[in-house]
A and B are shown apart, each in its own frame.
Chain A
């Protein structure tokens, strides 16, 4: 969960970096933890990390944009990741995605106007036995149908 006050966030970020001994080799871990604190990786956060680690900010930005689980733009409260790997595709992932697009009114990569949901695609979630599948936050949902997707979304009201 994002930490609330700006000063607290700043403090937590410094703490995270200190815990990793300002080691540039720990950049990925630091970015992940920074995102937990801030919700996403803003330019200012990446510059702070670059300064503390003594590396160019371009490298921080490059790593942040490489990994789909890291975000350089603000995201919704809940991130929905729809699996687009072949097993889910065969089992109807396209219908699931269409349903989500219809209900939320956003395309993959976009965030709803009320900042509640961000819709994303993901590669295999490793739960092919219950395909088609998606994640909302850390929660995995399988055996999806358009009806079930609508029901699940309601629980996030």
Chain B
């Protein structure tokens, strides 16, 4: 079948056992730990990515008794990363209570970084390459790297190569005052010059997502997260850091009236359609998260809990550069492919964790899945992909309330979902099932299925 979109079948169709190797074993989520997320410029303003990742890691180590343990591998990453942090994760491991013989690598896939570390390490466990792993991510919008201008950078490098004083003077004479201004990282897409919010504003208008619906998603996020904290849900998922015990962005007392009073910040050039505010968009945030993954044998040998299995994952990307799809819409394609591989529909999912980059991102995703024509022409289905039961969506809050330290969001979601699934146990006589969906810059997205244990 030829469709102007992305086929929902893929190379994974042959199933989850390899033709030449032994049957794959299971990778389980033992638990997670993160530091509370702080608004940029707040409690963690002076903490580096390495500080925060180490803090999250040490909390996980303390929680599961991993002092001096040689873990199979640690993978984490940061989106805003200083060049001196080329070995960020390994340095964090060396600064942690883990055995110094624990290997580590950095990974970067924009906001999908955290989820991709879970997927990659779970795959290594399934293949039998490692028995245990720690996935994670960290980001600091406060302690962001600032770089020198291209003009200054070239002058400095050329000066280094110059051999004589006249050569050096000649090179220095190229320097202009404007070259001395430092450059802070931005959130603009390199190929479009539009910020992520401006991109989403286009998608929001395209799917006619209302201001009211966005504010409602934001309100639910704050209410659900606050209720989860009140019930003690995060007691074994969060370690206080720098005086913060709860996410700094959480507004338990926000209301639909307060959210409605905020002025739009993205898409203002779209006139009457500007609906995205600081309340229904995620703020710049600092934080770190970690997830402990293991084989059944490794967890059992240490008498550690097994919350959920990492069943499968799928990445997707969209051609957003000239507006064929919205920048943050890749999960819209990844989820149907992933569910089809397992003969599942949206109705078979007990918990949806759809990352709230913006409230409108969640709503645009749901709208696309409910759209008959989009299902037919873009997903290659007979009609609409399906409807997400809103009562199962982000039940303990998501990024709008918690904040979104880019690479740390995946770990936050996976640990939260694994605990939710474990608490639910079974659903209709089968293991409870959860779906994670994370959109990312560059028009990418990663999604995964977890199942209760």
Q: Do A and B bind each other?
A: no
B-contacting residues of A (Cβ < 8 Å)? none
A-contacting residues of B (Cβ < 8 Å)? none
